[in-house]
Amino acid sequence: MFNLSPKNDKFFDLFISFSEIISDAAHALDDFVKSPNEANEKYEHLRDIEHRGDDELHKILEEVNNSFITPIDREDIFIIGKALDDVVDYIEDTAARFLMYNVNEVNENALLISANIVKASNEIKLLMQAFKNMKNTAEIKNKIVEVNKLENDCDRIYRESMKALFSGGTKEIKIIIWKDIYESLEDAIDSCEKLANVIEGVVTKHV
């Protein structure tokens, strides 16, 4: 049955719910990176969170299909839903790299990026809450700026990490492993920034 409500706030509530899944995933990844022991169990926990994200995306798409009128463009809802899902997928994929390479040592720069992913996830939660009231443009902009700052900081850490890898003295196998892990961590924080930029574009269109 179609939802004929002229203003369906359920989409914004679903976005907020998805942002909480992102936060859970980010914290699970951070725990994984800090202590890679019990890696299989920790990865399965993250996989469960990723499945929750898939379910949440399905709810969003289902709600679009069942709604006659939507508060923002249908295309934008699809784009936001996909951007939210991408963050969780990239976080899960990062943990998969640690598991695949059987990483059992803590790397300081990996920890720094992981911590920033957690911080970005917290900002995304606040961003989605502010997004429910699109007139609150100052708060929305503030959260987007904070995510961008965290991504920029991770860019710096990533560049420093790659430079250190190729400066000599690192075994080839470790170069291969850590290059892949750093790139995966970078993809995860980049996906947070891309999500924030998507929200910025939608808000610009509708205010």
Instruction: Supply the CATH classification number for the domain 10-206.
Output: 1.20.58.220
Element (H, E) at 100: helix 74-100
Q: Mind listing the pLDDT tens digit for each residue in 21-58? A: 999 999 999 999 998 778 899 999 999 999 999 999 99
Q: What does the mean pLDDT of the chain come to?
A: 92
The answer, yes or no, to whether residue 2 has pLDDT greater than 60, is: no
pLDDT of residue 184: 97
Residue 204 CB contacts under 8 Å (≥ 6 apart), including other chains? none
What are the residues whose beta carbons fall under 8 Å from the beta carbon of 202, sequence distance 6 or more?
72, 73, 76, 79, 80
pLDDT band at residue 177 under the 50/70/90 scheme: very high
Taking only the tens place, the pLDDT of each residue in 50-81 is: 999 999 999 999 999 888 888 899 999 999 99
Virtual CA dihedral for 29, 39, 47, 180, nearest 10 degrees? 60
| Distance of alpha carbon 69 from alpha carbon 3, whole angstroms | 7
Distance between alpha carbon 195 and the CA centroid of its chain, in Å? 8
Task: Output the CA angle 144-148-149, nearest 5 degrees.
Answer: 120
Residues 6+ apart with CB under 8 A from 134: 140, 203, 206, 207
Global pTM value: 0.93
Which is more confident, 4 or 192?
A: 192
d(CA 3, CA 181): 44
Where along the chain do its domains lie? Answer: 10-206
